[in-house]
Structure 1
């Protein structure tokens, strides 16, 4: 069974349980926010990572998976529909490709700002598989199939191993000059642990997307074990890392 939800393409991966701040100002996303708040609770939308394109790109995507522009498939550039990001005068429209697996964002807080702008805070909810896109309205919508959250064969040894490696990774980051903030409180639950580690580790978006798409917590934790070993070795080989927040809580502008 599928569900129709509004979609917010983002150049980042949202994980269940993770806070997502957004700064909204584009007309289409203001319309999406108004429609969400006017509807029944819970107010939620889907976040899908951009595999190609940028957050301000227009809806250069047709609505059927497996066709150009469908989930995981390159988009054919379409004629400009008046939305931003489709290129300037004489420039071709920007292609857009969305990830197949996304995450629901549950709207928690809306703060109105001057000039018809809003800061909103959402929290990652259920994962979904994007089955079909609908670009007929003012913003993207999609038919999604929610995915189960399975633990898999995530035994106590694997959980302890990932916890130790994550603490070591944070220590190496701090020693290299990164601001890692306060020590993270790691949950014992394998599913929750797998998502916290995935969100808090500095990784390429493609690596994060693979972690989100893992079939269960055991597969995700094993992948994180290998990634943490790799990243810790890289940190050991580097004298410093760029300064910045370990967990970037800055708002994503649309």
Structure 2
């Protein structure tokens, strides 16, 4: 079932279950957030596909065109400053796909449909493989650096685990957007494959040549 959702195009991605801190300063988004707070309704965060994140006060700024898949954001805390700006924290809730843009001014509103997580056979096995690769990766980091590592314990739920890792892994935004859009089974296998590729770059790795160490940055 479709519903109307105000959109906030950004140069970042919010995954379900993750939090984001926002500084709302453009007048149009102040109005949007004020309405969301008053009506206790979520808004949608979508990665910008083309255009500019900030238009107000910028000559020649192009309107933001969003990717079609984003995440609903529920405001969990907010402070309204004296000049009308907002500082807020929001939590990602559900993935959605844009069916139609129904309003463009002063801010985007779209008819969206929530995307349910698939329950395809093999999800549990794929999650176990990703968990094992995650632990192997950090063990290899410990060996390569000589520094003890205690990786965070991953959630038991496959979807929650995938979103948490997708949020933390330092990969290009295009890759993160692909994971947001992909079915859960594909997401789990692809993330395990990416970790395996990074593992192969580590010195002394048995998964590949081990020439150099690109790393994924901190997952903690």
Structure 2 unaligned residues grouped into runs of 5+: 204-210
What is the CA deviation profile of residues 120-163 of structure 1, one whole-angstrom value per residue up to 9, with x for unaligned ones?
A: 11111111111111344321111101111123223443222201
| Compared CA separation, residues 185 and 138, structure 1 to 2 (3 A) | same
Question: Per chain length, whose mean CA-contact separation is higher, i.e. which structure has more relative contact order (CA < 8 Å, sep 6+)?
Answer: 1
CA distance in 2, matches of 1:5, 1:245: 34
CA distance in 2, matches of 1:228, 1:143: 36
Q: In the TM superposition, what is the alpha-carbon distance from 1:234 to its structure 2 partner?
A: 4.4
Moved more, 198-207 or 127-136: 127-136
After superposition, residues 107-118 of structure 1 pair within 5 angstroms as: 107-118=75-86
Pick aligned residue for 1:129 from 91, 97, 105: 97
Find the counterpart in structure 1 of residue 194 from structure 2.
Answer: 227
Residues 24 and 119 in structure 1, CA contact (< 8 A), matched pair in contact too: yes
CA distance in 2, matches of 1:128, 1:208: 15
TM-score by length of 1: 0.72
Moved more, 231-240 or 111-120: 231-240
1:214 paired to 2:212: no
CA distance in 2, matches of 1:122, 1:235: 37
Pick aligned residue for 2:117 from 145, 149, 155: 149
CA RMSD of aligned residues (A): 2.7
1:26 paired to 2:9: no
| Compared CA separation, residues 34 and 182, structure 1 to 2 (3 A) | farther
Residues 198 and 215 in structure 2, CA contact (< 8 A), matched pair in contact too: no
Moved more, 116-125 or 168-177: 168-177
CA distance in 1, matches of 2:143, 2:101: 45
CA distance in 1, matches of 2:196, 2:53: 32
Find the counterpart in structure 1 of residue 74 from structure 2.
Answer: 106
TM-score by length of 2: 0.82
| Compared CA separation, residues 153 and 176, structure 1 to 2 (3 A) | same
